[in-house]
Chain A
Amino acid sequence: MSVAPVSAAPAAAGTVRAWCEWYTRGLPEPLAAERRDEVASDLHEHAAWAAEQGIAERDLGRGIRLRMLGGALADLSWRRQQLRAHETAEATALRRNARGGLPVLAYTLALLVLVASGGVVLRVLLGTGPGSAAFHAQGAASAVLALAASACALALMARRRTRWVGALWAIVAVYCLLRYGTKALVHASATSSQLVYSAAAWDTFGKLLIVGLTLFFLGMAVRWAPSRREMDRGVRAVARASTHVSAQASRVGEPLAVSREAVGG
Chain B
Amino acid sequence: MARRRPGTLFPLEIEILECGIALQSSDGDFYGFALAKALAGRADGKGLTAHGTLYKALARMTDAGLLDAVWEDAALAEAAGRPRRRLYTVSGEGVRAHQAATAGAPAAAPSGLAAFA
Contact = CB atoms under 8 A, between A and B. Distances in A.
Interface of A: 1, 3-4, 16, 34-35, 37-42, 44-46, 48-49, 63, 66-78
A74 B86 contact: no
A40 B84 CA distance: 9
B53 A71 contact: yes
Given A37-B83, A37-B84, A42-B33, A75 B56 contact: yes
B52 A41 contact: no
B110 interface: no
A77 B56 contact: yes
Contacts of B83: 1, 3-4, 37, 40-41, 44
B51 A67 contact: yes
A71 B47 CA distance: 13
Contacts, number: 86
B33 A49 contact: yes
B75 interface: no
B82 A67 contact: no
Size category of the binding interface on chain B: 20 to 34
Given A4-B83, A45-B33, A39 B47 contact: no
Contacts of A49: 33, 37
Interface in B33-70: 33-34, 36-37, 47-56, 59
Contacts of B37: 49
Nearest to A82: B59
Contacts of A68: 50-52
Contact of B32 (A41, A70, A76): A41
Contacts of A66: 47, 50
A78 B62 CA distance: 14
Contact of B84 (A1, A39, A76): A1
A49 B35 CA distance: 13
B55 A72 contact: no
Contact of B50 (A1, A34, A44, A71): A71
